[in-house]
A and B are shown apart, each in its own frame.
Chain A
Amino acid sequence: MIYFEFIKNRAYFYVIMIVICFSGIVFPAFRGLNWGLDFVGGTEFIIRFQKDVHDDQIRKKLETPEFAFLKGLQVQRVVESVGAEGAQTGVSFIIRTSAQPEEIKGVDDKLVRVLSTINPCQRLSTNSIGPVIGKTLVKNTKKAVFWSCVVILIYMWFRFELRPGIAATLGLVQDTCGMLAILSITGYEMDLTAVAAILTVLGYSINDAIVILDRVRENLRLKRKMPYDELVNLSINQCLGRTVYTSITVVLTLLFLLLMGPMVLRSFSLVLLAGVVSGCLSTISVTCPMLVDWHLLVDKPRVKPEAQKA
């Protein structure tokens, strides 16, 4: 049977953890997040051209006095999903501006008319959001993340003990940092669905911790003579098959969703993908090592005194 020394090498995992958490703070802080319309407000048109056009052509058409109200204009080509019919029928562009709903009244028709002079095009959707919605959303998101963590912590406390609960919740911090870092690095939009994905990962990542913590608890009963660190390591290894196989199935479904799924769900799929991988990692790299170190620092050694040196 394959057996890895996860716990003995936990110093490396701590390094990984620090790197992930660090990038989760540094990247969003300096590189920033590509905040979606839901949060910052503004207007987004999705326009499909029959033939390929250059985004500069679009920009030139719209940077005229006629469209002066389209402030902070951004034009972005949509990368079609693999195997999408859209790739044959045309090229889509996302045109984003900070113009408020009140300012864009009836502009769709004009926009399509003007852009059609480059190449025949059609409007796929218009989404316009004012600043009030964004503020409510930020407030609700903060509340949701907070309450998710509280609910999970309480449940873990109730089912296990406070200590594994806290260790597992700390693992969630790494997951959240990992997802934020990926969002910042790739420049994918931080929108409503990305928030949903982050929250889902919080629940999913805890799954992984629970599976291993359950095993630790079981082993504590079965193997009374084994030192704590060895026992935790054994538990991780016993669950390794499950961790790998489950990750494969979830990662496969998410990869298909990311590559072939609708463009609206790109951020969502990416965040979930990063979160699921991080979720498996965080149990091994954060929750379990913390549990072991906590034990070694606070409790009396379980069997052998030399275990304290580890």
Chain B
Amino acid sequence: MRRVQWGSVAILAALFIASLCVCAPTLRIPGLFSWLMAPEYPKLMLELGLDLQGGVDLTYQVSVAKSVLTTKAVDLAEVTAVAKEVITDRIDMFGVTNSTVQVQGEKRDQIRIQVPTADEKKQREIKDIVRMTHLLQFNEVLGEAANEAELDTTQPDTIALPLVDQKDQQTGKTRPSNKVFLLKKTPEMTGEYVESADCIPGQLGEPEIHFEMTGEGSVKFGAITQRLLHKQLAIVLGGKVYMAPVIQSQITSRGQITGKFDLEEARRTVKILRAGALPAELSPLAENFVGPSLGEESIRSGLRASLFGGLSVIVVMILFYKISGVFANICLALNLLLQLTALVFLGATLTLPGIAGFALTVGMAVDSNVLIFERIKEELRAGKTVRASIDAGYGKALWTILDSNITTILTGVVLYHFGTGPIRGFAVTLIIGLVVNLFTSIWGTRVLQDSWYSGKEIETMSI
């Protein structure tokens, strides 16, 4: 005779509730966990992959730009690394969270850019902006005002562009600026002539931006700065003015920008001065655009299929194994929740193959329980008591379950190693699902079954 393992049951229940809490924002369960939705709690959300929320996925082959004339041998991997930095800065301007820029390929000479945005206009802009060899412009400032209406844009060759979002010194939050510049539309020069830029503390510790022009650039910039002496020259990128310093003296090869800006602003300007010129040529290897509706439909049909699949498994398990089937189903639910929790904590993104991995684990997770229950049935048929049958069933099925799960996990690892993108997502969900499965199906159902058949000696078993 055994007692109910209240401790273990409590652990199971606690795990259930804890994982439900973690998954609540992801599953968008309102009401029950409304306090979790409150803004002051950090939200642990499972991010959706590109294929689900829409976005762009671009892969480019990097080659040395024809415009870059070099005498020394160029290391393509190095160029790629620089190009990656430049592209990262450019992508950052769109402010899309979870954008990634990675270097890939055996020779480390490919760049993959993934931006999860369903906005088709943005998608197109991203594609265009990434490959531009130079997009930084220096424009002459003709005037400035609080809003566009106050500026006279009727003149030919003029354009009104806003100042980039400013960071509030006190609150630290970025807010849209209330300054618009009237610029000469034709740029004085483009960013391709900027050789390097850096942020250096000045004599009083205030940040200064130092930059250097290329040989050709020095001549051009010298002429421009002479012509626009004591006038403002705007640094423009992506339709926004980043800074509009007044030219104090003629600048040829080296110059510096000083003034009332903090380190962060200085750093940002350095970044865009560098981001202006791409030292490489990019040729597309793969371009994938996913619109918003396709992803939405994929999620809906994917979840619906998983739901129906899950429900059918639940029904089948109860039909086959009655009360024991109910235990298996409880553990299946726990399995799915824990799986989701693990993904949330790993900061993984849920892709379409990931959903498939989920659906598949539902089918596979009950396999362990089927194995155990069939074994228990056999022991019962052999005339053993309920107690002894449960013990024997779990004991004998253990290694079989371990073996079969480990081989699938191993193939999952191989899949992860050789796979890319969404396939990796699938491999991760598969591996997590199986590991969690070992825990829930072997330990979880055991606890429930032991507790159910504890107390008085039971003659028959619902299985």
Query: Do the two shown chains form a genuine complex with each other?
Result: yes
Which A residues form the contact surface with B (CB < 8 A)? Answer: 1, 46, 48, 81, 83-86, 101-102, 108, 122-130, 132-133, 136-137, 140-141, 143-144, 147-148, 151-152, 155-156, 159, 192-193, 195-196, 199-200, 202-204, 206-208, 210-211, 214-215, 218, 238-239, 241-242, 245-246, 248-257, 259-262, 264-265, 268-269, 272
A170, chain B: closest CB distance, angstroms = 15
Smallest CB-CB separation from B409: which chain A residue?
A203
Nearest residue (CB) in A for B421 is: A192
Closest Cβ–Cβ distance, residue B307 to chain A (whole Å) = 8
The 3 closest A-B pairs by CB, nearest first: A203-B411, A253-B309, A250-B363
B353 close to A268 (CB less than 8 A): yes
Minimum CB distance partner of B418 in chain A: A144
Smallest CB separation, A272 vs chain B (Å): 7
B444 at the binding interface (Cβ < 8 Å):
no
Q: Which of B305, B320, B352, B360 contacts A200 (CB 8 A)?
A: B360
Q: Does B454 belong to the interface (CB within 8 Å)? A: no
Whole-angstrom CA separation of A204 from B316 in the bound complex: 21
Across-interface contacts of A125 in B (CB, < 8 A): 288-291, 294
19 contacts between A and B (CB under 8 A): A83-B301, A84-B301, A129-B285, A140-B419, A143-B418, A144-B419, A148-B410, A148-B411, A156-B407, A159-B403, A192-B420, A193-B426, A203-B411, A211-B371, A211-B400, A239-B374, A253-B306, A253-B312, A264-B352
* Known A155-B410, A206-B408, A211-B404: A46·B309 in contact at CB below 8 Å: no
Interface readout for B258-272 with A: 1 if CB under 8 Å, 0 if not?
A: 000000000000000
Interface of B with A (CB < 8 Å)? 51, 59, 61, 105-106, 283-291, 293-294, 297-298, 300-302, 304-306, 308-310, 312-313, 316-317, 320, 352-353, 355-356, 359-360, 362-364, 366-367, 370-371, 374, 377-378, 381, 396, 399-400, 403-415, 417-420, 422-423, 426-427, 430
Residue of B nearest to A131 (CB): B285
Contact A144 B289 (CB under 8 A): no
A126 to B124, CA, bound (A): 12
- Please state if A200 and B316 are interface contacts (CB–CB under 8 Å): no
Interface pair A257/B309, CB less than 8 Å apart: yes
Contact for A272 among B300, B360, B399, B405, CB less than 8 A? B360
Q: Across the interface, do A242 and B370 meet the contact criterion of CB distance under 8 Å?
A: yes
Question: Which residues from A are CB-within-8-Å of B409?
Answer: 203
Whether B305 pairs with A85 at a CB distance below 8 angstroms is: no
- State A173–B362 Cα separation when bound (angstroms): 26
Q: Is the CB of B408 within 8 A of A127?
A: no
B410 A152 Cβ-Cβ under 8 A: yes
Whether the Cβ atoms of A204 and B364 lie closer than 8 Å is yes
Measured CB to CB, the closest approach of chain A to B396, in angstroms, equals 7
Complex contacts, A140 vs chain B, CB 8 Å: 418-420
Q: Which residue of B lies closest to A86 (CB)?
A: B297
Known: A124-B294, A192-B422, A256-B312; 12 extra A-B contacts, CB below 8 A, are A108-B289, A130-B286, A196-B423, A203-B408, A256-B309, A257-B305, A257-B356, A261-B301, A262-B305, A262-B352, A265-B353, A265-B356
Q: Which residues of B contact A86 (CB under 8 A)?
A: 297
On whether the beta carbons of A130 and B403 are closer than 8 Å, the reply is no
Interface of A is mostly: helix
CB-based nearest A residue for B52? A262
Question: Which of B105, B304, B399 is packed against the most chain A CB atoms within 10 Å?
Answer: B304
Beta-carbon contact of B304 and A252 below 8 Å: no
Expressed in whole angstroms, the Cα–Cα distance for A148 and B407 within the complex equals: 9
Q: Which residue of A lies closest to B400 (CB)?
A: A214
Kindly identify which residue among A156, A199, A269 contacts B415, using a CB–CB cutoff of 8 Å.
A199
**Which of A85, A143, A193, A207 lies in contact with B404, CB distance below 8 A?**
A207
Q: A125-B290, A241-B374, A260-B301 are in contact. Are A193 and B353 (CB under 8 A)?
A: yes
User: Given known contacts A122-B291, A242-B374, is B411 in contact with A252 (CB within 8 Å)?
Assistant: no
Closest Cβ of chain B to A293, distance in Å, is 24
Who on chain B is nearest to A81 by CB?
A: B301
Q: Is the CB of A196 within 8 A of B291?
A: no
Contact of B310 among A83, A122, A208, A253 (CB under 8 A): A253
Task: Say whether B288 contacts A127, CB under 8 Å.
Answer: yes
With both beta carbons as reference points, the residue of chain A lying nearest to B289 in the complex is identified as A126
Please pick, from A46, A214, A262, the residue contacting B403 in the complex, using a CB distance under 8 A: A214
Which residue of A46, A85, A133, A252 contacts B313 across the interface (Cβ within 8 Å)?
A252
User: Is B418 a contact partner of A249 (Cβ separation < 8 A)?
Assistant: no
With A249-B316, A264-B298 in contact, is A152–B407 under 8 Å at CB? yes
Min Cβ gap A185→B in Å is 22
Bound Cα distance from A156 to B415, whole angstroms: 19
User: Distance (Å) between the CB of B341 and the closest chain A CB?
Assistant: 21
Inside 8 A of B419's CB, which chain A residues have their CB? 140, 144, 196
- The residue of chain B having its C-beta at the shortest distance from the C-beta of A265 within the complex is B356
- Contact in complex: B293, A122 (CB < 8 Å): yes
Q: Which residue of B lies closest to A208 (CB)?
A: B404
Tell me whether B286 and A245 are in contact (CB under 8 A).
no
User: Per a CB cutoff under 8 Å, which of B289, B298, B400, B427 touches A262?
Assistant: B298
Most buried by B among A130, A151, A218: A130
